[in-house]
Amino acid sequence: MTAKLAIFGIALAAMSTAVSAFTPEFPLPAQISASETSDHTSFALITTPWRDGEMSSIDLQGAVAKQAWRLPASELTSLQLLDPLRQQLMDAGFEITFECETDGCGGFDFRFSADVFSEPDMHVNLSDFRFLSAQQVTATGASNAVTIFVSRTDSTGFVQINQLGDAAKTVTTTPAGSVTQPIPTPLASSELGQALEGHGHAVLEGLTFQSGGAGLTESGMSALAALAQYLNGNPDRQVTLVGHTDAVGGLPGNTSLSKRRAQSVREHLISKFNVSSSQVSAEGAGYLAPRASNLTTAGREANRRVEVMLMSVE
Report DSSP letters for 27-96, one per residue: SS-EEEEEEEEEEEEEEEEE-S--BTTB--EEEEEEEEEEEEEEE--TT--HHHHHHHHHHHHHHTT-EE
The pTM score is 0.52
Instruction: Give the length of the chain.
Output: 314
Tell the CATH topology of 189-310.
60s Ribosomal Protein L30; Chain: A; (3.30.1330)
Q: Alpha-carbon distance 245 to 249, whole Å?
A: 10
Q: Return the biggest CA–CA distance within the chain.
A: 69
Q: Domain extents for the chain?
A: 5-169, 189-310
Q: What is the pLDDT of residues 162-183, one digit of tens each?
A: 999 866 665 554 433 333 444 4
Question: Residue 48: what pLDDT?
Answer: 95
Q: Alpha-carbon distance 147 to 105, whole Å?
A: 14
What would the mean pLDDT of 61-85 be, rounded to a whole number?
86
